[in-house]
A = this chain, B = another copy of it.
Amino acid sequence: MTSFRMADITWPEYQEALAGDPVILIPVGATEQHGPHLPLSVDVILPTAVCEGVAAAGGYLVAPPLAYGYKSMPRSGGGQHFPGTTSLDAASLIAQVRDLTREFVRHGARKIAFIVGHTENLWHVSEGCDLAYRENAPNAEGLRLLNVGYWQFLPAATAQAIFGTTSIDWDMEHAGIMETSMMLHLRPDLVHMDRLVDHAPSRVPGYELWPYDIEAVPADGVLNTASSATADKGQQFLDAYVSSLSVALTEAFGAR
């Protein structure tokens, strides 16, 4: 069987896969600081792993991820002032979403899902989808576009089991327990738990300010403590996301 990784297959294999009307999953990541303990590519690695988990069941293709995303905001990613955070303007990200949609539609795809791994991408991917749908829908019967932040699909049971609550402030989870655990599960070689410093959570105010109030952002870029992260929790997160997103995607795109 050929791979579900678009990057790994030839064009005739891709053509054959397309004939089955698969859902194209496009991980939309970022290159962004994730504290002293995690690499800059967390937001690429995690949605890609989730996509590959979903795709393993068949009926999906995973496109190459977008490695750069929208600008990091103080309250959900620490802000743009951290070295290593390497971001795009909104227009650039929107344009890529439009271009990719146009191309996949040309190939014959009608089910296209942007699986976002970086909070700040969501609204710009949304605008990209809206413009892409406006452009392509008239000539692509049955076209469906989807935009989702994978972390939003944590099942209540998993949330309760790990966080002890189902009401999670995801903005604060940047480089926190969830991301650290999943990285410990997927790429332990890139995680440095020994560098974690315990400190109070971020206290970014409810408005956005330019220039940033840098004092309000923890100096290490971790918005909440990650010290209880474990690889085992990481596997629980990953399994839960794969499972709940599979259900959601089936619902959204219809039975396959």
What is A's interface to B at a CB cutoff of 8 Å? Answer: 6-12, 14-15, 18, 31, 33-41, 44, 63-68, 71, 73, 80, 82-92, 94-96, 98-100, 103-104, 106-108, 120, 122-124, 126-127, 129-131, 133, 137-139, 143-148, 152-153, 167, 190, 192, 195, 205-211, 213, 221, 248, 251-252
Residues of B within 8 A of A40 (CB): 6-11, 14
Work out how many copies of this chain go into the complex.
6
A88 touches B96 (CB 8 A): yes
A252 touches B89 (CB 8 A): no
B6 touches A145 (CB 8 A): no
B37 touches A10 (CB 8 A): yes
For the complex, what is the distance from the CA of A93 to the CA of B41, rounded to whole Å?
A: 21
B108 touches A83 (CB 8 A): yes
For the complex, what is the distance from the CA of A246 to the CA of B104, rounded to whole Å?
A: 37
A211 touches B167 (CB 8 A): no
Residues of B within 8 A of A147 (CB): 207-208
Chain B residue nearest to A251 (CB atoms) is B205
A sample of 19 cross-chain residue pairs with beta-carbon separation below 8 angstroms, ordered by A number, consists of A8-B39, A8-B190, A10-B34, A10-B36, A11-B84, A14-B40, A63-B86, A66-B68, A73-B126, A87-B99, A90-B124, A123-B124, A129-B208, A129-B210, A146-B207, A152-B207, A207-B248, A207-B252, A209-B252
